[in-house]
A and B are shown apart, each in its own frame.
Chain A
Amino acid sequence: MQEATFLILTALAAGSQHGYGIITDVEQISKRRVRLRAGTLYTALERLRADGLIEVDHEEIVDSRLRRYYRLTPDGGERLAEEAARLRANAHVAMSRLDVNGGAARA
């Protein structure tokens, strides 16, 4: 799973969000390292929706602008949990090896 995809799913894990909400949330989660652009975001959303990992929650019109809210599907939540567990396991191995070999390298 690409990092952008992981971050988008993470942004939706706390509840439904619209496109701009996802962009700002992903920026916050990644500590301003990942700033999604609109084209990239919608390609990713389209793919996630086709894969059944997210779905449309509801739509709102604010200041005559359409906002479509997305949410995780049960499948999407499962995939995200699997991926998070995988990343944690990898990170754990990395950390423990650094501790054994270097001692000083604690993140």
Chain B
Amino acid sequence: MSNSTDLERRYRRLLAFYPRAFRREHEQEILSVLMDSAAPGQRRPGVAESADLLANATGMRVRQPTAWEERHHPVLWIWVRVLAGIWLVILTGMLCQYGRWWGLALLVPAALHFYLALRLGRFIESQGEAGGPPSNPPAP
């Protein structure tokens, strides 16, 4: 029993990477699937399974526009996020290639840029853009 609660806790931690609206709708359900798929006595999520959850959570965050973005150039925001992601990958590559200290110095603002690109719409929205629901969960 304690094995399964350990496993469940770790799965929940991975699921936390998903957008909130999606989690509200699907977290319990995905957790059931993950626990049903688990081998007896399994305590940790598998590597491939974890990578799959993280990749899909990131993809969902990059694609999914907020209600604010929906009303203001939704496609533009997707590009902002994609470009920020590309910049992050290039800089990580440079850092691995040259291993210089300034690579690391660049990586920090790049990561910050990527994070801000993900959050910007939500931030502007929370600043009190009039009307519209705070998020757009899919219709049940």
B30 and A50 contacting across the interface, CB-CB below 8 Å: no
B28 and A40 contacting across the interface, CB-CB below 8 Å: no
A19 and B56 contacting across the interface, CB-CB below 8 Å: no
CB-CB under 8 A from A66, the residues of chain B are 28-29, 31-32
**Contact among B34, B35, B37, B52 for A40, CB-based, below 8 A:** B52
Cα A66 to Cα B34 with chains together (Å): 12
Task: Identify which of residues 34-56 in chain A touch chain B, using a CB-to-CB cut-off of 8 Å.
Answer: 37-43, 46, 49-50, 56
Task: Identify which of residues 35-61 in chain B touch chain A, using a CB-to-CB cut-off of 8 Å.
Answer: 35-37, 48-49, 52-57, 59-60
* Residue B140 is within 8 A (CB to CB) of chain A in the complex: yes
**Contact among A18, A43, A46, A65 for B31, CB-based, below 8 A:** A65
Interface residues of A (CB under 8 A from B): 18-20, 23, 37-43, 46, 49-50, 56, 65-68
